[in-house]
Amino acid sequence: MHGWTGKTVIIDLTNGKITETGSDLGTLHSYIGGRGLGVKLYYDLMTPGIEPLSLIHILIFTTGPPHRHSGPLSGRHVMVSRSPLTGTIFDSSSGGFFGKDLKFAELMP
In tens, the pLDDT along 15-40 reads: 899 888 888 878 877 887 788 888 99
Q: Which residues are CB-neighbours of 3 under 8 A, at least 6 positions away?
A: 33, 64, 65, 66, 67, 68
Burial profile 96-108: b = 16 or more Cβ within 10 angstroms, e = fewer:
eeebbeebeeeee
Which residue ranges form the domains of the chain, and what is each CATH number? Answer: 7-103 (3.60.9.10)
What pLDDT, on a 0 to 100 scale, did the predictor assign at position 64?
75
For the chain, what is the mean pLDDT? 82
Q: What is the pTM of this model?
A: 0.78
For residue 81, list its beta bridge partners: 90
